[in-house]
């Protein structure tokens, strides 16, 4: 089968993903084999390709927002049917034995397996996945291309909002407006929240307005009101002091990315005093995924995507890095 394989990390400008033939995968007893129709392109894929998030071994096939149909299954994967549409997401498996898993905090698992990092991912024609960790995707969610961003951008954006302790009817600020933020905004609006969006990109700010943001502004500009909740989606540590300045007393900043560059020094009185909290968002639980997909199936969300053929994966990631996508998400079509 065809796949995009990374032999070693390098700048995406050097086009390090190789479009190659690799052996067809075969499902183990507890796995399914999925014929992929579309796979979202995530900033985490960019961090993996460029080495900011190193894989344990190479070559590796990135991709963790894959949508397709089950074409084969192991003998223990009897809960899923051949031909069923499913999604293969970032979480490949949790150990289910460590203290975190046993206490209901499986996203903090000591020995997790992530798709496209520890095991081959969705930048390929087919992928195997543990049956217990794939997600059923009903037709109500929309087309394969429109569903793909929900499988990481959507799930992580949803968990990041929860980590910020946002409750319906309150005010939240989103910093950076890419794939995850544009879904998180729609979740927050479904919860009747006021949403502020901060971005360096005028086109993204206009899109935020269209999706119901109450107020938008450029990076570095103070918010018109303090907020009790904030989510940082951009991997830009220098934004954190400004965010903490605009948080109200008792406010929570949730950092959504798997990677953030250098965080500058914070002033205790200005940025932290008043019981303000900074918390990271780490992976997700299966329950997070179920809740997000159930909410999305109500038809309240839209995803704005730009599609690429699979052999243009390098170009898609480069446009993502440079902020040149015509939409909020990039998706590879197989």
Whether the pLDDT of residue 167 is over 80: the answer is yes
Q: Residue 301 above 90 pLDDT?
A: no
pLDDT of amino acid 259: 87
Residues 47, 258 contacting (CB under 8 angstroms):
yes
Angle (nearest 5°) at CA 21 between 15 and 44: 45
Helix (H) or strand (E) holding 67: strand 66-73
pTM of the model: 0.93
Residue 322's pLDDT band (cuts 50, 70, 90): very high
Distance CA 53, CA 9 (A): 9
Q: How far is CA 257 from CA 9, 70, 180, 245, in A?
A: 19, 30, 10, 20
Q: Are 129 and 31 in contact (CB under 8 A)?
A: yes
**Rounded alpha-carbon distances, angstroms, from residue 106 to 91, 97, 158, 167:** 10, 10, 16, 23
The per-residue pLDDT for 245 is 94
Q: Nearest 5°: CA angle at 170, between 164 and 171?
A: 75
User: In 10 A of CB 242, how many CB atoms?
Assistant: 16
Mean of pLDDT over the chain: 96
> How is residue 292 written in tokens?
């997000």
Domain ranges in the chain? 2-151+301-333, 155-280
How many Å apart are CA 124 and CA 45, to the nearest integer?
14
For residue 66, what are the β-bridge partners?
39, 88
- The yes-or-no verdict on residue 220 having pLDDT over 90 is no
CATH, domain 2-151+301-333, list 3.30.565.10, 3.40.50.1220, 3.90.180.10, 3.30.70.990? 3.90.180.10
The whole-angstrom separation of Cα 38 and Cα 21 is 18
Tell me: the pLDDT tens digits for 34-88? 999 999 999 999 999 999 999 999 999 999 999 999 999 999 998 999 999 999 9
Continuous H helices in 125-201: 144-147, 153-163, 179-190
Long-range Cβ pairs for the range 215-221 (8 Å, 24+): 219/175
Q: Could you read off the pLDDT of 101-133 as tens digits, one per residue?
A: 999 999 999 999 999 999 999 999 999 999 999
Q: Cα–chain-centroid distance for residue 310?
A: 19
Q: Are the beta carbons of 128 and 29 closer than 8 angstroms?
A: no
Q: May I ask the CATH architecture of the domain 155-280?
A: 3-Layer(aba) Sandwich (3.40)
Q: What pLDDT, on a 0 to 100 scale, did the predictor assign at position 258?
A: 86
pLDDT band at 262 (very low <50, low <70, confident <90, very high): very high
DSSP class of residue 23 equals: P
Per-residue model confidence (pLDDT) at position 156 = 96
Residues 6+ apart with CB under 8 A from 219: 175, 198, 199, 200, 239, 242
Name the percent of the chain lying above pLDDT 90.
92
Number of alpha carbons in the 13 Å side-chain half-sphere of residue 296: 30
| 16 band by pLDDT with thresholds 50, 70 and 90 | very high
Q: What's the confidence (pLDDT) of residue 219?
A: 87
pLDDT at residue 201, rounded to an integer: 85
Cα(56)–Cα(60) distance, rounded to whole angstroms?
A: 9
Question: How buried is residue 245: exposed, middle or buried, by Cβ count under 10 Å (0-12/13-18/19+)?
Answer: middle
What is the number of other CB atoms lying within 10 angstroms of the CB of residue 113?
Answer: 15
Distance CA 126, CA 180 (A): 25
């Amino acid at each position: 089968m065809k796949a995009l394989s990374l032999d070693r990390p390098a700048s995406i400008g050097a086009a390090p993903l190789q479009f190659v033939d690799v052996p067809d995968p075969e499902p183990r007893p507890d796995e399914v084999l999925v014929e992929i129709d579309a796979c979202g392109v995530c900033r985490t894929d960019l961090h993996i390709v460029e080495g900011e998030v190193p894989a344990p071994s190479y070559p590796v096939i990135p991709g963790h927002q894959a949508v397709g149909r089950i074409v084969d299954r192991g003998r223990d994967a009897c809960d899923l049917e051949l031909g069923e549409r499913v999604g293969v997401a970032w979480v490949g498996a949790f150990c289910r034995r460590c203290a975190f898993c046993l206490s209901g905090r499986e996203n903090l698992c000591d020995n997790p397996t992530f798709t496209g990092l520890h095991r081959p991912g969705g930048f390929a024609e087919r992928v195997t996945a543990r049956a217990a960790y794939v997600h059923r995707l009903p037709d109500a969610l929309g087309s394969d291309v429109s569903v793909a961003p929900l499988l990481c951008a959507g799930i992580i954006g949803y968990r990041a909002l929860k980590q910020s302790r946002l409750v319906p009817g309150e005010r939240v600020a989103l910093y950076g407006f890419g794939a995850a933020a544009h879904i998180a905004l729609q979740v927050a609006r479904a919860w009747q929240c006021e949403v502020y969006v901060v971005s360096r990109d005028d086109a993204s700010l206009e899109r935020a307005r269209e999706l119901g943001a109450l107020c938008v502004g450029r990076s570095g500009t103070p918010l018109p009101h303090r907020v009790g909740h904030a989510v940082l989606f951009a991997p830009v540590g220098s934004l954190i002091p400004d965010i903490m300045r605009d948080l109200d007393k008792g406010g929570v900043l949730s950092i959504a990315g798997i990677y953030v560059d250098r965080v500058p020094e914070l002033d205790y009185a200005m940025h932290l005093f008043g019981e303000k909290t900074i918390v990271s968002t780490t992976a997700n639980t299966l329950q997070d995924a179920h809740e997000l997909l159930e909410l999305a199936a109500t038809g309240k969300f839209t995803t704005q995507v730009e599609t690429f053929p699979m052999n243009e994966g390098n170009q898609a990631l480069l446009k993502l890095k440079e902020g040149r996508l015509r939409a909020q998400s990039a998706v590879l079509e197989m």
